[in-house]
Amino acid sequence: MAETRRAAETRRAYGEGCIAAHALDLVGDRWALLVIRELMLGPKRFGAIRAGVPNVASNILTRRLEELEAAGVVTRRALPAPASAAVYDLSPHGQALRPVLLALCRWGAGMPGHDHRLPISPTALMLSMESMIRPAPGRFTAGFDMGAEAFALTAWSGRLQIRRADAPAGEMAFTGSANDLAVAIYGPAPLARAAADGRIGFAGDLARGQAFVDLFRLERPPGSPPLPPSAT
């Protein structure tokens, strides 16, 4: 019994038959879910993952990628010449965690203490928007250019389709850092003011752009308990 417990601790496992504990044995280590988040919209090289999770040490990121690969969550392949570099991607088991990440976004929106001034990666912003979109009539196409990453979005009936793009594509285009775009999307100021202030760039019809932005709110899930006064 003692040997079994020591082996479980060496693997940083919980040593329980609970299937939730089993899932956490595979993806519950620190940084693991954020690494998975960065790969959710497509494969990336090590440096791009590191840029999306800026506070993780390189050696820890290497270890997490190795562990996630061993667990069958992440795959690694070599790019053909002349790149000759490794690229990381999610396996089907990894992709199946998308609803988990989206649910965590919605749950986190109902908890006090969120600081939007902390770093937000482009992928993190896209997934948060997918989790927060509200049903509304109409169909919108929008491009987002955040420097190192660009995306094409299609929104309709409370759904958001996101794909990587070489450049913004759609009836409207947003440009800027992920943090500044998050303020423009979720903040109280009208889109016209955010664009006029020069904090972000916007191309397209402003009325359509405002209608698109209005699809997204950091709303607390129904039935959430009231936040304490200090959180308002």
Domain assignments of the chain as residue spans, ordered by start:
16-91, 100-213
Is the pLDDT at 121 greater than 90? The verdict is yes
Least confident span in 100-109, 163-172, 189-198, 220-229: 220-229
Using only C-alpha atoms, the chain has a radius of gyration, in whole angstroms, of 20
Q: What is the pLDDT of residues 128-185, one digit of tens each?
A: 999 999 999 999 999 999 998 999 999 999 999 999 998 777 999 999 999 999 999 9
Provide mean pLDDT across the span 188-211: 95
Report the CATH fold assignment for 16-91: Arc Repressor Mutant, subunit A (1.10.10)
Is the pLDDT at 120 greater than 90? The verdict is yes
The reported pLDDT for the residue numbered 67 is 95
Helix (H, G, I), strand (E, B) or coil at 72: coil
pLDDT band at 7 (very low <50, low <70, confident <90, very high): very low
- Give the position of tokens 């009325």: 207
Is the pLDDT at 221 greater than 60? The verdict is no
Task: Give dist(CA 156, CA 137) in Å, integer.
Answer: 7
pTM for the predicted model, two decimal places:
0.87
pLDDT band at 10 (very low <50, low <70, confident <90, very high): very low
Options 3.90.580.10, 3.40.1190.10, 3.40.50.1370, 3.30.1050.10; CATH of 100-213 = 3.30.1050.10
CB within 8 Å of 140: residues ≥ 6 apart: 153, 154, 155, 156, 170, 171, 172, 208, 211, 212, 215
Angle made by CA atoms 150, 156, 161, in degrees to the nearest 5? 35
Tokens of 142: 């929008």
Task: Give dist(CA 146, CA 123) in Å, integer.
Answer: 10
End-to-end alpha-carbon separation of the chain, Å?
50
Task: Give dist(CA 144, CA 122) in Å, integer.
Answer: 9
